């Protein structure tokens, strides 16, 4: 069989599988399907999805499936460090990072140090960004922080965080949901705005936080959103909403779904 995960990288393999009459299966991670998955769904035996609302876009059998998560440890040093401070804020720009988040977020959080003197920020800038430059902004503002290009123990950080500020790609959104941490999502405006659809689902359907469109992002607005999100009543309400959604998510794996379709 051939399994495609929706990016253009899967196109040659899916075409080869189709030409050889090999059973095709797809997986769609976002709330809006990409072009490759929409094109090949008419030939697929089935589509596993991250979120059930996207099922309506497919005419073949489609079902929500559970994706394995990266490893974590409740007793890890990084988690202990995060839980020693309050509030703990995790900033994630996605796998490629985000110059916008790396510029706006540190400047905004520095303005909150007087209100939250014990604040701790764990900021993942991405492999193509300058971690030292971001670190300097926090240091000048006397914000306790850890700035990295990549974090292998991201789930540990999310589990300990009070708030996450992030893009809204499918992978990070799924991990935010799994950790049940409230978020301020700033969707990447390109890629057919699928991140905006992901963020709207997180905010409007799940009640897990708020969204700021990149074109509307200012330091002042971000400061206001962070202060609102860190209110204890708001934070607990959002955590409860995410927990309620997590309980009803499918526990079926993609492997199990494929076996049923064969």
Every domain of the chain and the residues it spans:
2-64, 77-247
Q: What is the pLDDT of residue 86?
A: 87
Helix axes 99-110, 131-140, angle to 10 degrees: 10
Per-residue pLDDT of the chain (262 residues; tens, 9 = 90+): 999 998 889 999 999 999 999 999 999 999 999 999 999 999 999 999 999 999 999 999 999 999 877 665 555 566 566 666 689 999 998 766 689 999 999 999 999 999 999 999 999 999 888 999 999 999 999 999 999 999 988 999 999 999 999 999 999 999 999 999 999 999 999 877 899 999 999 999 999 999 999 999 999 999 999 999 999 999 999 999 999 999 999 999 999 999 999 9
What predicted TM-score, i.e. pTM, was given to this entire model? 0.91
CATH code for the domain defined by 77-247 = 3.40.50.2000
Describe the strand order of the beta sheet including 209-211 as a list of residue ranges: 144-148, 120-124, 88-92, 163-166, 183-185, 209-211
């Amino acid at each position: 069989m051939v399994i495609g995960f929706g990016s253009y990288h899967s196109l040659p393999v899916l075409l080869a599988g189709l030409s050889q009459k090999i059973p095709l299966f797809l997986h769609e991670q976002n709330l809006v399907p990409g072009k490759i998955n929409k094109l090949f769904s008419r030939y697929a035996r089935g589509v596993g999805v991250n979120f059930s609302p996207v099922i309506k876009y497919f005419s073949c059998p489609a079902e929500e499936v559970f994706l394995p998560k990266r490893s974590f440890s409740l007793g890890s040093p990084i988690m202990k460090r995060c839980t020693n401070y309050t509030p703990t804020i995790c900033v994630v720009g996605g796998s490629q990072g985000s110059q916008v988040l790396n510029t706006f977020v540190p400047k905004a959080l520095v303005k909150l140090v007087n209100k939250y003197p014990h604040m701790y920020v764990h900021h993942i800038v991405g492999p193509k960004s300058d971690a030292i430059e971001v670190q300097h902004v926090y240091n000048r503002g006397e914000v306790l922080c850890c700035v990295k290009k990549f974090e292998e123990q991201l789930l540990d950080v999310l589990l300990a965080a009070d708030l996450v500020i992030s893009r809204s790609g499918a992978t990070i959104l799924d991990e935010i949901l799994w950790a049940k941490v409230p978020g301020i999502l700033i969707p990447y405006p390109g890629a057919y705005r699928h991140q905006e659809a992901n963020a709207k689902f997180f905010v409007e359907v799940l009640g897990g936080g708020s969204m700021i469109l990149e074109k509307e992002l200012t330091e002042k607005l971000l400061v206001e959103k962070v202060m609102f999100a860190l209110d204890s009543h708001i934070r607990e309400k959002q955590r409860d909403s995410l927990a309620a959604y997590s309980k009803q998510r499918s526990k079926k794996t993609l492997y199990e779904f494929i076996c049923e379709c064969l």
